[in-house]
A and B are shown apart, each in its own frame.
Chain A
């Protein structure tokens, strides 16, 4: 326990000392928030502000997961920092748990701040089930950090890691409905949309903020369940494939484990697709 607390406390201090972390976690999503809020927030559609808030949160979650957890883990391995930890009696578990918890602690105040600003500056109604919404967003955040860590554990080099991250990040930004509204998706794009893990985060948040739904509504519960599976699956796989040194390479076949983590989302996408048909 002592080591978990020490790692989390250190991780938080380190994160707050890095300008890049502050920028990508707070300033960048805030910039979007205010930018879009000025355009859409005052429009008569009540959904305008919810749209802006969910977009900013999704940017934050994806950035925290893929860059904050994934890329950073690769960096620590490549710089020989993890080697120093390898010498000690700890297992990868406290490091992985530490990464998830730290990400959450840094992120949650930002979410609360954004919701409050949306409410008080732009008159967005407060979500009916605030606590449940925060739980849902937390699950999303930890699930995406888990995905980030899986990417880190299957990428042999920073270059590979960056490619994988971009392959996940950009489609999710554009096809999850976070930026481009899902109503405009047709055909193949709509099918792809339903296979994006971020889609379920965006949809769940909008259900809860726009329609006053709670976490126990069928669709939201399914999304939450899938995120929990991702957290557990991602955690197990990152543990199993964890490498302390960049000299240890992973075999090509082991990379297929990424698909295993995505499996719950693939099933969800397939169900949605069948349902639409």
Chain B
């Protein structure tokens, strides 16, 4: 087992003329990990990821990707990674399969276009011109191109932005497949659900700085916010008999007394106590909801902003 991190970044900085886009960030990505950079528009996600891909020079700090310095060993690095850019295009009159074959010829090793077309459900579209593809098909082609050299490390810059929810799920499936093939994936996104669903670890980035980093679960637990428990019963509960639940911060009974909302910092324990109480009271439980704090709550707490405008 290789314990060297696939990516190691120390005090990475990027400045454009006057704009300080990345202000000294540190992180590591381990082999086989799906690592997410989550942040709002202009946070510095693309700047960071494109420095690691060898596309833009860094202004300061250190970076190693697959053991290469992305500034000085661009060619070797590019030969080994797969990249899906945030903004790119192909010639209007290039056919899907031609694109895969052309780009495949640029690498020391490449996998057959047929195999890729079938895998990314582009087989029927193999002879279509690029200009005739839908947004989702273009994105699948972009992913196919990223896989053309069979890379162990993939960079996906906002792979689902601007796509329909249906197609977004499809792309999520493909990314999960890459993960199951033990490829390391770095992706950027401003969709919370995407980060929660796909990433082993997430770095929340805002104004060029990492404000929090960890597994989605760790980040949620860092939240000061409490989980919310909603209880609905068949008959009204008596407000006077409601006890003070352990760890509950606030409880509230609806006017008809049939639904109870409790905020708790330790929801599992609180919920257990509520259940016990309901049982003792001989109440008939109709429904229970438990809502944990989301990454979005964490994000809002840390940055004072929402992710999407």
Interface residues, chain A, CB within 8 Å of chain B?
2-3, 5-7, 10, 13-14, 17-18, 76, 79-81, 83-91
Contact = CB atoms under 8 A, between A and B. Distances in A.
Contacts of B103: 84, 88
Given A89-B78, A89-B106, A83 B83 contact: no
A81 B89 contact: yes
Contacts of A5: 105
A84 B98 contact: no
A14 B107 contact: no
Given A84-B145, A86-B55, A89-B107, A7 B102 contact: yes
Interface string B73-98: 01110110001010111110110001
Contacts, number: 58
A6 B87 contact: no
B255 to A, nearest CB: 58
Contacts of B79: 89
Contacts of A10: 94, 98, 102
Given A13-B98, A88-B106, A81 B91 contact: yes
- Interface residue SS majority, chain B: loop
Contacts of B105: 2-3, 5-6
Given A3-B105, A10-B98, A13-B98, A87 B89 contact: no
Contacts of A2: 105
A92 B13 CA distance: 27
B89 A90 contact: no
B101 interface: yes
Interface of B: 53, 55, 74-76, 78-79, 83, 85, 87-91, 93-94, 98, 101-103, 105-108, 145
Contacts of B74: 89
A14 B129 CA distance: 11
B18 to A, nearest CB: 15
A80 B87 contact: yes
Contacts of A13: 98
B101 A81 contact: no
Contacts of A81: 88-91
Given A2-B105, A7-B102, A84-B145, A89 B75 contact: yes
Contacts of A84: 85, 88-90, 103, 145
Nearest to B89: A80
Nearest to B155: A87
B93 A3 contact: no
Contacts of B106: 3, 6, 85, 88-90
B107 A88 contact: yes
A6 B101 contact: yes
Given A87-B53, A88-B106, A88-B107, A14 B91 contact: yes
Contact of A79 (B89, B102, B145): B89
A170 to B, nearest CB: 28
Contacts of B85: 83-84, 87
Contacts of A76: 91
B55 A87 contact: yes
Given A87-B85, A89-B108, 6 more contacts: A6-B102, A14-B93, A17-B93, A81-B88, A81-B90, A84-B88
A87 B93 contact: no
A14 B91 CA distance: 8
- Residue among A5, A6, A17, A87 with the highest chain B CB neighbour number at 10 A: A87
B78 A14 contact: no
A158 to B, nearest CB: 15
A78 B75 CA distance: 24
The 5 closest A-B pairs by CB, nearest first: A6-B105, A17-B93, A88-B106, A89-B79, A80-B89
Nearest to A2: B105
Contact of B94 (A14, A80, A85, A88): A14
A277 to B, nearest CB: 50
A80 B55 CA distance: 14
16 contacts: A3-B106, A6-B102, A10-B98, A10-B102, A14-B94, A79-B89, A80-B87, A80-B88, A81-B91, A84-B88, A84-B89, A88-B103, A88-B106, A89-B79, A89-B107, A91-B75
A91 B102 CA distance: 15
A123 to B, nearest CB: 40
B294 to A, nearest CB: 33
Contacts of A90: 106
